[in-house]
Amino acid sequence: MSRRCLVPIILLIALVAAFAPLTLLGGCADDEGSSADQPEAASLTPAAGEVRLLVSRDYGATVLKDVTVEAADGADALSVLTENAEVESAEGFVSAVDGLASTETAAWFFWVDGVLPDVGAAEYALGGGETVWWDLHDWTGAMFAGTAVHAFPAPWSDRPLPVTADTDVAGLDEWVAAAGLELGARRGLGDGAPDDGLVVCTAAEAAATPWLADLLSNESALAPVAIDGGTLSARDVSGAAATPAAAAVVALPNAAAAERPLLLVVVAEPGAGADALGLLTPGAMSAHLAVAVVDGAVAGLPLPASR
Question: Does the pLDDT value for residue 203 go beyond 60?
Answer: yes
Range list for CATH 2.170.130.30 in the chain: 9-138
**Predicted pLDDT at 183:** 96
In this prediction, residue 144 has a pLDDT band, given cuts at 50, 70 and 90, of confident
The pLDDT tens digits of the residues spanning 74-114 come to 999 999 999 999 999 877 678 899 998 777 888 899 999 99
Which of 12-21, 35-44, 147-156, 287-296 bottoms out in mean pLDDT, i.e. has the lowest? Answer: 12-21
Least confident of 138-142, 258-262, 279-283: 138-142
**Predicted pLDDT of residue 222:** 79
Lowest-confidence region among 14-28, 63-77, 285-299: 14-28
Query: Is 6 a residue whose pLDDT tops 60?
Result: no
**Per-residue model confidence (pLDDT) at position 35:** 36
128 has pLDDT over 70: yes
Res 220: pLDDT: 63
Mean pLDDT of all residues belonging to the chain: 84
Residue by residue, what is the 3-state secondary structure of 214-259?
A: HHCCCCCCCCCEEEECCEEEEEECCCCEEEECCEEEEEECCCCCCC
- Condensed to tens digits (0 to 9), the pLDDT of residues 233-278 reads 999 888 887 799 999 999 999 999 999 999 999 999 888 778 899 9
pLDDT bin (cut points 50, 70, 90) of residue 43 is: low
The top-level CATH class assigned to 9-138 is mainly beta
pLDDT at 21: 35
